[in-house]
Amino acid sequence: MVICNHYAENESGVRLDRPELFRLLADSRPSDVLLVEDVDRLSRLTGGEWEKLKKLIRERQVRVVAVNVPTTWQHLAPAQNEFDARMFGAINDMLLDMLAAIARRDYEQRRERQTQGIAKAKANGKYRGRQVDQNRYGAINRLLASGSSWSQVQRTIGCSRSTISSAIKYAQKIAVKSGPETTNPIGL
């Protein structure tokens, strides 16, 4: 077996819209092997989206081999006969379906526990969320105050428009709390 290409996906397995996965499928040829570390690296999709992905994989005639699922390794060896090939295909399809469902359930449980943990921390006054980068917000507001456009600020700071909006809202909130006589600590 020859490894002909390597694809590294940065998107979550929760999303079907994953550029590297679709590039891999577009580059693949019939009987190619898609080697994954674990099924949850391939999919934490909902049932319907997993079915769509399976259909795409089937249409491309790509065989999935997961390092942690030994029965899928049979795809690496030539089939001894048609019966064995069909039997291992059915077993592997069933195992991949089960593992994809388990991966999705695990994802949903972790999200639920995270939500519960945040709610508990908020109730105890211990959760503050993501902290504001006052230096960055200050730089954004100083650039805006000096007449820079949002696009110029984006290029200079390397931030999104939503970050600029958040910086403005934060500065306004600080100004209201501080009163008009206080100098704004973040640049406005």
Compute the average pLDDT of residues 120-126: 92
In a domain, residue 45? The reply is yes
Q: Do 52 and 116 lie in a common domain? A: yes
In a domain, residue 63? The reply is yes
CATH number where 23 lies = 3.40.50.1390
- Cα 89–24–46 angle (5° rounding)? 65
Strand partners, 36: 66
Q: Do 92 and 28 lie in a common domain? A: yes
Number of domains into which the chain is organized: 2
The whole-number pLDDT of residue 75 equals 73
Pairwise CA distance, residues 57 & 52, whole Å: 9
Q: Do 88 and 48 lie in a common domain? A: yes
Q: Do 52 and 103 lie in a common domain? A: yes
Do 35 and 6 contact (CB within 8 A), yes or no? no
Q: Do 113 and 162 lie in a common domain? A: no
Q: Do 43 and 116 lie in a common domain? A: yes
Q: Do 41 and 111 lie in a common domain? A: yes
Pairwise CA distance, residues 124 & 149, whole Å: 41
**More confident call, 186 vs 160:** 160
Cα-atom radius of gyration of the chain, to the nearest Å?
25
Q: Do 173 and 113 lie in a common domain? A: no
Give 96-111 pLDDT, tens digit per residue. Answer: 999 999 999 999 999 9
pLDDT band per the 50, 70, 90 thresholds, residue 22: very high
Pairwise CA distance, residues 70 & 155, whole Å: 49
Which range of 2-11, 32-41, 117-126 scores highest in mean pLDDT? It is: 117-126
Give 3-19 pLDDT, tens digit per residue. Answer: 778 888 878 888 898 99
In a domain, residue 106? The reply is yes
This prediction has a pTM of 0.65
The whole-number pLDDT of residue 180 equals 58
Q: Do 86 and 150 lie in a common domain? A: no
Output the average pLDDT for the chain: 88
Task: Give the DSSP letter string of 27-77.
Answer: H--TT-EEEES-HHHH----HHHHHHHHHHHHHTTPEEEETT-GGGGGGGS
Cα torsion at 44, 46, 99, 97 (round to 10°)? -140
In a domain, residue 53? The reply is yes
**More confident call, 71 vs 24:** 24
Angle at which helix 82-123 crosses helix 47-59, to 10 degrees, equals 150
In a domain, residue 4? The reply is no
The whole-number pLDDT of residue 174 equals 86
In a domain, residue 128? The reply is no
Do 64 and 57 contact (CB within 8 A), yes or no? yes
In a domain, residue 110? The reply is yes
**Percentage of the chain surpassing pLDDT 90?**
54
Backbone angles phi and psi of 65, in degrees to 5: -125, 120
Q: Do 117 and 138 lie in a common domain? A: no
In a domain, residue 38? The reply is yes
pLDDT band per the 50, 70, 90 thresholds, residue 82: confident
Q: Do 25 and 118 lie in a common domain? A: yes
Range of the domain at 143: 134-178
Q: Do 155 and 111 lie in a common domain? A: no
